[in-house]
Structure 1
Amino acid sequence: MSDEPEIHGSCAPGFEAVRDAFEEGFRSRDEIGAATAVQVDGETVVDLWGGHADVAKTRPWQENTLVNVYSTTKGITAFCAHRLIDEGKLDLDERVATYWPEFAAAGKGAVPVRDLLSHRVGLPAVREPLPPEALYDWDAMVTALAAEEPWWTPGTQHGYHALTFGWLVGELVRRVSGKSLGSYFRETFAEPLGLDFHVGLAEAEHARAAEMTPIATPGEGEADAEAIEMGKAMLTEPEGMTARAFMNPPSMAAGVNIPEWRSAEIPGANGHGTARSLAALYGAAARNDGRVLSPEGIERARTEQSHGKDAVLFLSTRFGLGFMLSQDKVAASFGPSPGAFGHPGAGGSVGFADTERRVGFGYVMNRMGPRILLDDRALALIDAVYASL
């Protein structure tokens, strides 16, 4: 019997190169299970899935297999904030404390909403060690962050808020809308657009979730030098900002294949969804027809706010308001269009919109790659998409 995984789905004429790149991921890039989808001008031109949803390779990947997409969730969270801005309920230049009074503690009273969305607020981590259960306790996390003193003067530099972005922006959404981030996204985007994407996965849906591997040990030439540097810093400075950003609460080490993680709302890291849903959401944004955000909202979302050496990640990052933006560096590019915006996730998942080419893209997988930003598997797919346009 062949070890070649079965690939399912559809690929429009002219996009065969995307299918080839997807299959190549299984042949030469150690893919276990994955899915990718592409919309062009609102039409789905690629919708592929294959492989297995578990490491033991006993569960075939299904059309509706859900994947924990880590920081790709941040784009979902950002869309929610921008909808509230579009509706005039949230103001980028208003003080966070206007909506969330407790946030004014520790000298943060003048911090504007803009700094939260652009990773400039200086709260990538909580210094005081938190108990493991705090990771799944919304009130515990937002209370700790409201009380925290910034690691740098807000607005003076940027550093990736790996987990805290979700609680910070999610609490703003909750204070303004009266709904949790997961509920707001479901009612505002998922249900109207027919998206199978969840922030806080209902217990009845856990069986559909793919088993995620630990982050791969990098092979020769596979990891960014910055990823290696960051890993060393986390080991040698366990109380430092970068280590705290990823490992406080320490329950992050317990992994994501557990009910507590799947059920919680962690809007910086635990969205569960399909590539099809990412492509549909970003595809609607790419058409810029007002269904997701206003045209002004799209322009606002992708306007550069932060660019350069990241205080947390040890490499260059570039952010708009909640979304990551392309950089010239190949491993940080969403393709050739400079205005493309979206978000990658740890291990390899990514979703993005390109309004110039009217492309929405999604890729999800369960074998975690070692790169910090975009993974080789996603980059190969993105290259194939643009070669096919």
Structure 2
Amino acid sequence: MSEIHGWCEPRFDAVREAFQRNFDEGRELGASVTVYQRGRAVVDLWGGRAGAGTAWERDTITLLASATKGLVAAAAMLLVDRGLLDLDTPIAAYWPEFAAGGKADIPLRWVLGHRSGVVTVDPPLTLLDLEGGTAVSEALAAAVPAWQPGRAHGYHCLTMGWLVGEVVQRVTGMSVQRFFAKEIAGPLGLDLHIGLPDARERRLADLVPPTAEQLLQGRANPELADLNQAICDPASLFHRSTFGSIALAGNPLAAASLPQAGIPSCGGAGNAAGLARMYAALVGDVDGIRLLRPETADRARTVEASGMDLVLRCRTSYGRGFMLPGGPMWPGECSPTAFGHPGVTGVFAYADPDHELGFAYVPNRMTELITGGDDRVRRLVEATHRCACT
């Protein structure tokens, strides 16, 4: 049995039990889970191994994959809250070059809600392109939507972070990475980053992919059958928007590439303590800091798109940059007002304004579901919801 460290309030003992059970059943290598309620931590647990012979410590961090989109969305909505961005204003008003290719009327909310159709980059971007930055913005400005903007929705696997990041840069003069660090992570004291300055950071946990047996179990999920088929089809929108849009060695979503590439859609790093604290500050006061006014938090979770996702080929629901409950992407029963984001590393984090919750779970054994949201986090989310409602 792995020893669990940290603490939780007695009212949330079911979360500790669920966390321990994940380790006892051999589902975990190392992980952390943190819950905030009404502005203070009520659960802060960690355990297991960060790497060979290395224990998972309270300050261990790991790569966040697509959960990074939640950080980008928080930055965008903070600028909306301050009146510097408008959800209904066409992106071309901030970034004139973006109007090319039939994109002149795409508002910011269509990108945040995965409705813009700008999901692929052709030819694929190289590591040199990503490091330079200019080539990325030029490629996105020249891109042609994969469907008529606003008429459908599909997960912007890589492009969401780049598109929003360019708008943030145009409005603030700062990269989205720097803006997040200065305006969100810094004031809240978060060990949370869009990108990672040093990929050799000693506190960074080793990510371990699922075994072949675990992958087979994940692919047995009938709701994800079409997605699993699309992964292997070079003509599919999923394949074209991931493997076909970025020319990194091996899997473009592989953890080793992300810190170096600094992709704002999937290259973040942090721990559960930082993620939970950020989400808590989106819906309530945390040590005197509230990131969004209540009406702006409501706009962040307002349904922008729901139904069949043209890229992921399953049911999804999106607010403004955040995923919403419903469909196989969202793990477990919780408040219908919740909003957050998963990642293929297994990470999941969300805010629940009904119960003033911020929740985050960060493991280093990657999920067998490419979308995240496996049984480990499902039982933690459901235990948290039960405890919060008592």
Instruction: Provide the TM-score with structure 1 as the length reference.
Output: 0.92
How far the C-alpha of 1:96 sits from its partner, in A, is: 0.6
How far the C-alpha of 1:298 sits from its partner, in A, is: 0.3
Does the CA contact (< 8 Å) of 2:334 and 2:381 recur in 1?
Answer: no
Residue ranges of structure 1 left out of the alignment (5+ in a row) = none
CA distance in structure 1 between the partners assigned to 2:180 and 2:285 by the alignment: 19
Does the CA contact (< 8 Å) of 2:301 and 2:339 recur in 1?
Answer: yes
Does the CA contact (< 8 Å) of 2:329 and 2:342 recur in 1?
Answer: no
1:9 to 6, 11, 14: 6
1:276-323, Cα deviation, whole Å (9 max, x unpaired) = 011111112232687111111101100001000000001000001111
How far the C-alpha of 1:365 sits from its partner, in A, is: 0.7
Does the CA contact (< 8 Å) of 1:136 and 1:266 recur in 2?
Answer: no
Residue 303 of structure 1 corresponds to which residue in structure 2?
302
CA distance in structure 1 between the partners assigned to 2:321 and 2:97 by the alignment: 22
CA distance in structure 1 between the partners assigned to 2:322 and 2:95 by the alignment: 22
1:204-231, Cα deviation, whole Å (9 max, x unpaired) = 8722111112355435643433444323
Q: Is residue 165 of structure 2 the alignment partner of residue 167 of structure 1?
A: no
Residue 344 of structure 1 corresponds to which residue in structure 2?
342
1:6-29, Cα deviation, whole Å (9 max, x unpaired) = 221111112221111111111225
Residue 244 of structure 1 corresponds to which residue in structure 2?
240
Q: Is residue 218 of structure 2 the alignment partner of residue 222 of structure 1?
A: yes
CA distance in structure 1 between the partners assigned to 2:190 and 2:142 by the alignment: 36
How far the C-alpha of 1:157 sits from its partner, in A, is: 0.3
How far the C-alpha of 1:257 sits from its partner, in A, is: 4.6
Counterpart residue type for residue 173 of structure 1: V
Q: Is the alpha carbon distance of 1:65 and 1:40 closer, same or farther for their aligned partners in structure 2, counting shifts above 3 Å?
A: same
How far the C-alpha of 1:47 sits from its partner, in A, is: 0.5
Pairing of 1:1-389 with structure 2 (within 5 A): 4-54=1-51, 57-203=52-198, 206-217=201-212, 218=214, 221-223=217-219, 224-235=221-232, 237-247=233-243, 248-251=245-248, 253=251, 256-258=254-256, 261-287=258-284, 291-327=290-326, 329=327, 332-333=330-331, 335-371=333-369, 372-389=371-388
Counterpart residue type for residue 246 of structure 1: T
Does the CA contact (< 8 Å) of 1:341 and 1:352 recur in 2?
Answer: yes
Q: Is the alpha carbon distance of 1:315 and 1:204 closer, same or farther for their aligned partners in structure 2, counting shifts above 3 Å?
A: closer
Q: Is the alpha carbon distance of 1:373 and 1:365 closer, same or farther for their aligned partners in structure 2, counting shifts above 3 Å?
A: closer
CA distance in structure 2 between the partners assigned to 1:246 and 1:275 by the alignment: 26
CA distance in structure 1 between the partners assigned to 2:34 and 2:363 by the alignment: 12
3-state DSSP of counterpart to 2:50: coil
CA distance in structure 2 between the partners assigned to 1:330 and 1:101 by the alignment: 37
How far the C-alpha of 1:129 sits from its partner, in A, is: 3.4
CA distance in structure 2 between the partners assigned to 1:179 and 1:216 by the alignment: 41
Q: Is the alpha carbon distance of 1:83 and 1:219 closer, same or farther for their aligned partners in structure 2, counting shifts above 3 Å?
A: closer
3-state DSSP of counterpart to 1:127: coil
Does the CA contact (< 8 Å) of 1:307 and 1:316 recur in 2?
Answer: yes
How far the C-alpha of 1:68 sits from its partner, in A, is: 0.6
How far the C-alpha of 1:265 sits from its partner, in A, is: 2.8
How far the C-alpha of 1:347 sits from its partner, in A, is: 3.2
Q: Is the alpha carbon distance of 1:30 and 1:317 closer, same or farther for their aligned partners in structure 2, counting shifts above 3 Å?
A: same
CA distance in structure 2 between the partners assigned to 1:254 and 1:342 by the alignment: 23
CA distance in structure 2 between the partners assigned to 1:321 and 1:102 by the alignment: 23
Does the CA contact (< 8 Å) of 1:190 and 1:197 recur in 2?
Answer: yes
Q: Percent identity?
A: 41
Counterpart residue type for residue 47 of structure 2: G
CA distance in structure 2 between the partners assigned to 1:292 and 1:41 by the alignment: 14
Q: Is the alpha carbon distance of 1:240 and 1:333 closer, same or farther for their aligned partners in structure 2, counting shifts above 3 Å?
A: closer
Does the CA contact (< 8 Å) of 1:215 and 1:347 recur in 2?
Answer: no
Q: Is the alpha carbon distance of 1:99 and 1:330 closer, same or farther for their aligned partners in structure 2, counting shifts above 3 Å?
A: closer
Does the CA contact (< 8 Å) of 1:136 and 1:261 recur in 2?
Answer: no
Task: Compare 330-339 and 84-93 and name the one that shifted more.
Answer: 330-339
Does the CA contact (< 8 Å) of 2:156 and 2:241 recur in 1?
Answer: yes
- Number of aligned residues: 381
Q: Is the alpha carbon distance of 1:265 and 1:257 closer, same or farther for their aligned partners in structure 2, counting shifts above 3 Å?
A: closer
Q: Is the alpha carbon distance of 1:330 and 1:266 closer, same or farther for their aligned partners in structure 2, counting shifts above 3 Å?
A: closer
CA distance in structure 1 between the partners assigned to 2:189 and 2:165 by the alignment: 22
CA distance in structure 2 between the partners assigned to 1:286 and 1:334 by the alignment: 20
Q: Is the alpha carbon distance of 1:254 and 1:171 closer, same or farther for their aligned partners in structure 2, counting shifts above 3 Å?
A: closer
CA distance in structure 2 between the partners assigned to 1:135 and 1:5 by the alignment: 40
List, as ranges, runs of 4+ consecutive aligned residues in structure 1 with deviation greater than 6 Å.
none
CA distance in structure 2 between the partners assigned to 1:313 and 1:131 by the alignment: 24
How far the C-alpha of 1:137 sits from its partner, in A, is: 4.4
Does the CA contact (< 8 Å) of 1:331 and 1:375 recur in 2?
Answer: no
CA RMSD for the aligned pairs?
2.1
How far the C-alpha of 1:243 sits from its partner, in A, is: 0.5
1:79-108, Cα deviation, whole Å (9 max, x unpaired) = 111111111111111111111111111111
Counterpart residue type for residue 263 of structure 2: I
Residue ranges of structure 2 left out of the alignment (5+ in a row) = none
How far the C-alpha of 1:336 sits from its partner, in A, is: 2.8
Counterpart residue type for residue 238 of structure 2: T
Counterpart residue type for residue 294 of structure 2: P
CA distance in structure 2 between the partners assigned to 1:320 and 1:69 by the alignment: 20
Does the CA contact (< 8 Å) of 1:37 and 1:276 recur in 2?
Answer: yes
